[in-house]
Amino acid sequence: MRQYLDYLQDILDHGTRHEDRTGTGTIRVFGRQLRFDLTEGFPLLTTKRVWMRGVTEELLWFLRGETNIQSLVQAGVSIWTDWPLQRYRDETGDEISQEAFEERIATDDAFAERWGDLGPVYGTQWRDFEGPEGRVDQIERLVRGLRETPHSRRHVVSAWHPAQIEDAALPPCHYAFQCFVEGEPGDGRLSLMWQQRSVDSFLFLN
């Protein structure tokens, strides 16, 4: 994790302080890159808390094309609850607790349909992107492209849809990724470049 620690030091040494929408404040840098060789293992950070089950459930939720928090809540994952909860409170005036809200989301399908949706977030953009010629399943297209034309330079998935940003509960942080294949089919090397406009970086001290 030396690379991650060096990245954090770079933020402290070269970052500038700014206010942000959360009121917390940030120290910011722009355009940094971390590179990991996955043949050496999965780069799970040990300097911060990483809840792998939550990470896995969220990724599967994206891949299923879902945008409603019901299945996440039913799996015990609350990382997307803040936005629909705040919308419910603002629109109804009911200062319901998060626990009570999630209980209703998990057990009441009609309530979940009305209050649990986040708008066109990752699930929509990955699996049902609205283009000028119809809907595009970007994950299906990516997998098909990797199989049929592995050396193409067009293996890109984008979650950034300018026309729908305002309709989503939160604009995408990781807004695009690109796959790149070296070597011949069956004996190639798959690389991934992941791009984020915003990422929280911190060090957990035990």
DSSP string, 58-102: HHHHHHTT--BTHHHHHTT--TT-HHHHHHHHHHH-----HHHHH
Q: Is residue 30 part of a domain?
A: yes
Residues 39 and 63 in one domain: no
pLDDT at 203 over 80: no
For 159-177, what is the mean pLDDT? 96
Q: Cα-flanking dihedrals φ and ψ of residue 180, to 5°? A: -140, 130
pLDDT at 39: 87
Q: Which domain holds residue 8?
A: 1-48
Task: For the chain, report the end-to-end CA distance as a whole number of angstroms.
Answer: 16
Give pTM, 2 decimals. Answer: 0.89
Q: Which residues contact 50 (CB under 8 A, 6 or more apart)?
A: 44
Residues 26 and 63 in one domain: no
User: What six digits make up the tokens of 194?
Assistant: 């992941």
Per-residue exposure over 28-43, b if at least 16 CB sit within 10 Å of its own CB, e if not = eeeeeeeeeeeeeeee
pLDDT at 170: 94
Active site residue 173: yes
The catalytically annotated residue of 5, 60, 173, 192 is 173
pLDDT at 124: 97
For 177-182, what is the mean pLDDT? 96
Average pLDDT, the chain: 92
More confident residue, 104 or 131: 104
- How many domains would you assign to the chain? 3
Q: Cα-flanking dihedrals φ and ψ of residue 3, to 5°? A: -60, -40
Residues 143 and 194 in one domain: yes
CA dihedral sign, ordered 175, 198, 35, 66: negative
Residues 70 and 44 in one domain: no
Residues 40 and 7 in one domain: yes
Residues 185 and 132 in one domain: yes
Contact 130, 181 (CB under 8 A): no
Strand partners, 27: 17
Q: Is residue 133 part of a domain?
A: yes
Q: Is residue 40 part of a domain?
A: yes
Q: Is residue 159 part of a domain?
A: yes
